Structure 1
Amino acid sequence: MHLNDTKGYKLFRYFNIFVMIMIVVITFVPFINIIAQSFSSERFITAGEVFLIPKGFNVETYKAVLSNDRFWIHYRNTIIYTAVGVAISMFLTTMLAYVLSKPKTRIKGKGFFVGYAVFTMFFAGGIIPTYIVYNNTLNITNTMWSVVFPLALSIYNMLIMKAFFENLPTALEEAAAIDGMSSYGIFMKIVLPLSKPILATMTLFYAVAYWNSWFQAFMFLNDWTLFPVTLFLRNLISGATATGEAAAAEAGSTQIASNVRSVSMFLTVLPIILVYPFVQKYFVSGVMLGSVKE
C-alpha cells in the first residue's frame, strides 16, 4: 500500500486542510470586518450590527479622508521611505549575504562575522542608547534617515539570502573566474540574474517592513510633515495627537472614530495587497530555496 493511501496519511491531510482553513478565516475575517465598517454608517456601527456586510452604505468618510491633505502628505512620505529603504536594504543584504556565503578558505574570519551578525538578533542596545546615538552622534533625528536606518539590514533576511547563495552552482562562478571575470562582474552578471526568486522575496519582506513601520517615526520624528501614513493611522487609533483629532474632525460629524480608522487602515494596507499577487510566484520559491541547505 502506498503511503498516500493509508488512513493515517488521509487523516493527517484532512487535519492540515482544516488548520489552514481556520488560519485563513482567522486572518481574513477581521480584514473583511474593517472593510465593512469603512462603508457603513454611524448608526449601524454604534449598534454593533456591522460584521462582514456593510450596513447603511456610505462613502462620505472615504471622501473626507481622501480630501485630507495631511493624509496624502503622510502617504507620500511612506512611499519615499519604502522606496529608499528597500534600495538601501537590498544593497546591504545582498552584499553581506554574498560575501558570507563564500567558504571559510576564501573569507578569513567568516565564522566571527556570522556569529556577530546572529548576536545582534538577540541583543540590542535598547531604546535610550539608540536615541542618544541617533540624536547626539549621528544627528539624524527628525530626518528621513532616522526612519530608514533602523530597518536597513535584517539579519534574518540576510541569513535566508546567504543560504540561497550557498546553493547556487559554484561551477558557474569558477568558469567565469577562469574566463577573467572579476568578482563584481560575477556577482552582477551571473549571481544576481540567477537570484530573482530570493531578490523578489526579500524586496517584499523589506517593503512590508518599511510600509508598516511607525515606531521609528514615533521615536525620532517631531515634524508632522515627515510622518509616515502608519503613524498617522496610529494617531487616529489612539486619538493622542492633534493629527488624529484633526483628521477625525474633518471626516464629518456624521461619522465616528471607528469608521475613520477603518477607512484609513484599508487605504494604508491596499498597496501591499495589490503588489503581493505580482511577486507571489517568486515569494514561495524564494523562501523555500533560501531556507533549505542541500
Structure 2
Amino acid sequence: MTTTTVLTTTTLPTDAATPASPASIGTPTTGGPARRRSRQRPEAFTVVSYFGVIAFGLTCLIPFWMVVAGSLTAESTLSQRGYSFWPDPLSFDAYATIFSGNRVWLSYGATLFITIVGTAIAVAATSGIAWVIARGLAFVSRPLAIFAYIPMLFTGGLVPMYILVTQVLQLRNSLFAVILPLVIAPFLVFVQVSFFRATPQELLDAARIDGAGELRIFFQIVLPISKPVIAVIALFYAVTFWNEWFHALLFISDTDLYPLQLVLQNLISSVANAADLGSTVSAPVYQMRLAMTVITIGPILLAYPFAQRYFVKGLTLGATKG
C-alpha cells in the first residue's frame, strides 16, 4: 500500500502582526510616549521651587554684597548717602588704614593657628569620645556619656576656669589657652554618637573576623565612612575658633598674640582716634567698620563650598537602605 502525504500551506494575512526584531525593542518611535513626555512642560511646583530658591539666595547675597560695596565706597559718600549697590567713588582708604601696620597680619596668623590646630584637636577628641560612648562598653561608655552631658546643663563658672587655665595649666599668654576650653562641645559629641550608632554592625563583625583590632576598625573603617558627620562638626568647630575673642581677652595680654577678632574689636573701639591706628589723618569710621566685617567673615566663608558635598552626602545617607 502506498501512503500519500499532502502538505497544506497556510498563507498569513498581510496585516498580521510580525514579531519585532531585537534591535527595535526599546527604541521609541516618532511621536511615541517618550517623545511626548520630553515635550511636557515643567510642573508648577518645580518652577515655584526654583524661583523660591533664587529669591532666598538673593536675599542672602545682596546684603553681603552691599557690605563689600560699602567697604569700597568713600567715607564722605557713606556719611551723606549711606549704603549703595555700587561703590561710587571707589576708595580703598579703610583697607589701607587697617593693613597699615603689622598688627592685623600677626592677628591673622594667630587666628589661623587657633582655627587649624583647635579644629584638628577638637575633631580628634570628639570623634574618640563619641566612638567609645557609641560602643556601649561596660563601666566606660555610661560614665563617659554622663561626663560629656553635664557641661550641657551647667559649668563651673568663669573664676574656676580662669584659675585652672592660668595657675594650674600655666597657659597664660599662650594660644592654647584659647583652644583648650573649646575642644569638646557636648552637643557635637552626641551628634556624632548618633551617627556612629547607625554604623552597620555586620561591617564591624566582618572586620573582627578578619582579625582587625578596635583601633584598626576605628581608623580604617569607621572614620572613612564617617566623612559627612566629621565635615559637619569640623565646620562648626572652625567657625567657633575663628570667631573666638573672649578667651583671648581673658588669658592673653601680649598684643602680638591677639587673634583677629580681638584686634578688630580694639580697632573699632579706638577708630575715632587716628593716632591709635598710626595715621595722622582722620580715620574712615563707617567705611572701616564695613571693611572689618569683610575681613572677618571672608576667609571662613570660603570653607563652606569645600564642605558642601559632605553635607549633601549626609542628607542622602541611608536613603537606599531597606
Normalising by the smaller structure, the TM-score range is 0.7 to 0.9
CA contact (8 A) 1:78 1:229 kept: yes
- In the alignment, is residue 192 of structure 1 matched against residue 223 of structure 2? yes
The structural deviation recorded for 1:287 is 7.0
**Corresponding residue for residue 8 of structure 1:** none
Point out where structure 2 has 5 or more consecutive residues left out of the alignment. 1-44
In structure 2, what is the Cα distance between the partners aligned to 1:126 and 1:47?
A: 47
In structure 1, what is the Cα distance between the partners aligned to 2:290 and 2:224?
A: 41
In structure 1, what is the Cα distance between the partners aligned to 2:230 and 2:152?
A: 21
The structural deviation recorded for 1:61 is 2.3
In structure 2, what is the Cα distance between the partners aligned to 1:83 and 1:193?
A: 20
CA contact (8 A) 1:86 1:203 kept: yes
- In the alignment, is residue 156 of structure 1 matched against residue 187 of structure 2? yes
The structural deviation recorded for 1:254 is 5.8
- In the alignment, is residue 230 of structure 1 matched against residue 261 of structure 2? yes
In structure 2, what is the Cα distance between the partners aligned to 1:238 and 1:289?
A: 47
Identical pairs, percent: 33
SS at match of 1:47: helix
SS at match of 1:101: helix
**Corresponding residue for residue 309 of structure 2:** 281
In structure 1, what is the Cα distance between the partners aligned to 2:313 and 2:163?
A: 41
Of 164, 177, 180, which aligns to 2:208? 177
CA contact (8 A) 2:93 2:284 kept: no
CA contact (8 A) 1:61 1:252 kept: no
SS at match of 2:146: helix
The structural deviation recorded for 1:18 is 9.8
In structure 1, what is the Cα distance between the partners aligned to 2:59 and 2:279?
A: 30
- In the alignment, is residue 55 of structure 1 matched against residue 88 of structure 2? yes
In structure 1, what is the Cα distance between the partners aligned to 2:150 and 2:163?
A: 22
Calculate the aligned-residue CA RMSD, in Å: 3.0
1:104-140 CA-to-partner distances (Å, cap 9, x unmatched) read xx33253333233222112011112211211121111
In structure 2, what is the Cα distance between the partners aligned to 1:48 and 1:288?
A: 48
For 2:297, the aligned partner's letter is V
Of 249, 270, 286, which aligns to 1:218? 249
In structure 2, what is the Cα distance between the partners aligned to 1:278 and 1:245?
A: 40
1:151-182 CA-to-partner distances (Å, cap 9, x unmatched) read 11111111111111111111111111111111
The structural deviation recorded for 1:36 is 2.0
**Which of the two has greater helix per residue?**
1
In structure 1, what is the Cα distance between the partners aligned to 2:114 and 2:274?
A: 24
Taking a change above 3 Å as real, the CA distance of residues 15 and 254 of structure 1, as seen in their structure-2 partners, is: farther
The structural deviation recorded for 1:216 is 0.9
Aligned residues: 277
Bigger Cα displacement from structure 2, 27-36 vs 200-209: 27-36
**Corresponding residue for residue 106 of structure 2:** 73
1:216-258 CA-to-partner distances (Å, cap 9, x unmatched) read 1111110110001111111122339xxx956973467364222
CA contact (8 A) 2:72 2:92 kept: yes
Of 266, 270, 282, which aligns to 1:239? 270
In structure 1, what is the Cα distance between the partners aligned to 2:182 and 2:81?
A: 39
Bigger Cα displacement from structure 2, 229-238 vs 56-65: 56-65
CA contact (8 A) 1:82 1:210 kept: yes
Of 295, 300, 303, which aligns to 1:267? 295
Matches within 5 A, 1:21-100: 27-100=60-133
The structure whose Rg is larger is 2
In structure 2, what is the Cα distance between the partners aligned to 1:66 and 1:113?
A: 47
1:53-82 CA-to-partner distances (Å, cap 9, x unmatched) read 323211232233234211100001111111
Of 124, 129, 144, which aligns to 2:175? 144
CA contact (8 A) 2:274 2:280 kept: no
In structure 2, what is the Cα distance between the partners aligned to 1:156 and 1:95?
A: 15
For 2:132, the aligned partner's letter is V
TM-score by length of 2: 0.76
CA contact (8 A) 1:41 1:255 kept: no
The structural deviation recorded for 1:25 is 6.3
For 1:175, the aligned partner's letter is A
**Corresponding residue for residue 110 of structure 1:** 141
**Corresponding residue for residue 14 of structure 2:** none
For 1:37, the aligned partner's letter is G
For 2:192, the aligned partner's letter is M
**Corresponding residue for residue 235 of structure 2:** 204
